[in-house]
Structure 1
């Protein structure tokens, strides 16, 4: 186990400035004279800047309006204690993170080095662990706090957020609790501050969803052979255009489906049966067009919590002949129940019949 001794003022100043660089602090040189109270309660607060105009911050704020179309899951930040901070200022790695080189903090590392050598390997370990504490934003608040009795230490924080359209990516980082805000230039207090915090800055990524087209062919003319039904899916979400055609093929009466994946979540599409074969018609009362079908995010999950948007079409043989010269032995239809019936027409009819 590698320990990092941060007890000397100058070492504390350099190391903590690097540790807190992405935590919302702009400290040039940190110092702390007094010993750490390891029994004290520390608080770690995550903040969303009220002036932040990013997609994440804007949609989070909007999601709490009564008429909002934004449906955001709870915004959370998982905390993992990488190391304990002892009275003397020494960092002792937690047994779960014993391979994390916290001693790197003594080398005045920049943010990229901290991410590479501490944050990234710590995140890999954290994937198999339950968080020590979770910060949860509630009721539209722009800040949320975790209270940790006797919690002095170095923490990895991993923010998580998504809504019905976007998932959000955040920079995970580390924060020391307590820290000191003493600077040579301002001459403020050199006491340990047991209430620390950082700001969330998220970038958005479009989520995707699926559309399930279900088709039931109730009766089928064997003599006409295989039949294809063609569907057009058309819509738009901002500057994303959706316009394509898809086929569902039948070799007999049956129920088939076509799952279309990778559509932008929250887009509303129109699904139209463009072609149903010249000898098939919609079942009475069934739809041939669906409008404003909203795509629900599933991110490609094979077993999504929310089922995909679904449309149903039903067709049947319409007693028409595709061409002349149909022999009597071919004038049978399969009803889908294993029974084949004579269709009642005379052989060699010369015109398509409707």
Structure 2
């Protein structure tokens, strides 16, 4: 095994880089008093308090995989474990690679390995007893009906020493360490399918277009989606238009704002639904020919959402779902 002794001159940079890479509290690997490798360490993983997501995450069960990437002896010398012998921690200490890159490499190596242990986080906290060393902590992605939470992998050194966190602090190894999780939250999305049923059709009037407005609000009544879609018919039967990328949990109101000249609505003119993540919810409208003689045909402004470029506009005959 390769051994690495982290000298005092490296400590400030090491600590800062660990924090930047992991978003978690980490230990240094040097103190004037020796480490007791036989004394177990306790790692507590905790959801930060006072954040927008704190209450929601506290109500969830989170799962962390923990991999030991290095051991440490009483003299403060680290040795990569056999599963992570290619990690070469000294490259980060020497500045040849960043700690962000080192963390990413450790996570890549761990992707096909069995964790040494796991930690379940409930009510905002989880605790695990571990030996001294450096550990990779990987918290699994977690989802609610509205949001997805992703956690960056982090390297954490045990034990800790407060002397390297603040000036004047006691130079003493701490074997009970708390690390705050730092999640990234992103909204989840769903789709809306508007199904238009036309029970009869006047072929002499050519195509007929039906137009629908879509308004969606969140739990606070704020508009989160607004669009207009349409279907164009050249025969009796059913056509459907789909609207994508609507935030999950949004309350949607769909109104048929134009029923096509010569046709009348026989169902309710307004339908409501709630969007579910990664699902398609459906509303239906029924129309019939009322023997009017004015044709009604139009084009539709179509919008597609792209994560890199945002909403993209094109003009189509309608928003009908293509038939297979």
TM above 0.5 = yes
Alignment of 1:74-113 (within 5 A): 74-85=61-72, 89-107=76-94, 113=98
Q: CA RMSD in A?
A: 3.6
**What is the Cα deviation at residue 172 of structure 1?**
3.1
Residue 166 of structure 1 corresponds to: 147
- TM-score normalised by the chain length of structure 2: 0.71
**Does structure 1 retain, via aligned residues, the 8 Å contact 2:43–2:177?**
yes
1:17 is aligned, of 8, 15, 18, to 15
Matched, 1:137 2:121: yes
Distance in 1 separating the partners of 2:152 and 2:180: 11
**What is the Cα deviation at residue 142 of structure 1?**
2.7
Alignment of 1:41-190 (within 5 A): 42-50=41-49, 52=50, 54-61=51-58, 64=59, 74-85=61-72, 89-107=76-94, 113-115=98-100, 117-129=101-113, 131-138=115-122, 141-148=123-130, 151-159=131-139, 160-181=141-162, 185-190=168-173
Deviations 1:83-125 (A, max 9, x none): 3445764433345544323113543x69x9211x311222334
**What is the Cα deviation at residue 241 of structure 1?**
4.5
**What is the Cα deviation at residue 11 of structure 1?**
7.2
Structure 1: segments with no counterpart, 5+ residues: 65-72, 299-306, 325-354
Instruction: Flag the 1:274–1:264 CA change in 2: closer, same or farther, 3 A.
Output: same
**What is the Cα deviation at residue 233 of structure 1?**
0.1
Name the count of aligned residue pairs.
Answer: 287
Instruction: Flag the 1:93–1:34 CA change in 2: closer, same or farther, 3 A.
Output: closer
Instruction: Flag the 1:258–1:233 CA change in 2: closer, same or farther, 3 A.
Output: same
Instruction: Flag the 1:25–1:100 CA change in 2: closer, same or farther, 3 A.
Output: closer
1:288 is aligned, of 269, 287, 305, to 269
Distance in 2 separating the partners of 1:188 and 1:181: 7
**Does structure 2 retain, via aligned residues, the 8 Å contact 1:42–1:147?**
yes
Distance in 2 separating the partners of 1:130 and 1:227: 61
**Does structure 1 retain, via aligned residues, the 8 Å contact 2:35–2:73?**
no
Distance in 1 separating the partners of 2:8 and 2:55: 41
Distance in 2 separating the partners of 1:227 and 1:131: 61
Instruction: Flag the 1:132–1:251 CA change in 2: closer, same or farther, 3 A.
Output: farther
Structure (1 or 2) with the larger CA radius of gyration: 1
2:244 is aligned, of 258, 261, 271, to 261
Matched, 1:309 2:277: no
Instruction: Flag the 1:89–1:28 CA change in 2: closer, same or farther, 3 A.
Output: closer
Instruction: Flag the 1:313–1:96 CA change in 2: closer, same or farther, 3 A.
Output: farther
- TM-score normalised by the chain length of structure 1: 0.66
**What is the Cα deviation at residue 211 of structure 1?**
1.4
**Does structure 1 retain, via aligned residues, the 8 Å contact 2:17–2:99?**
yes
Deviations 1:225-273 (A, max 9, x none): 2222211101333654532210122232333322211122222121011
**What is the Cα deviation at residue 16 of structure 1?**
6.2
Larger fraction in strand: 2
Deviations 1:113-166 (A, max 9, x none): 211x3112223344455544443322xx23112345xx5432222334443333
Distance in 2 separating the partners of 1:205 and 1:18: 27
**What is the Cα deviation at residue 26 of structure 1?**
8.6
Question: Equivalent residue of 1:104, what SS?
Answer: helix
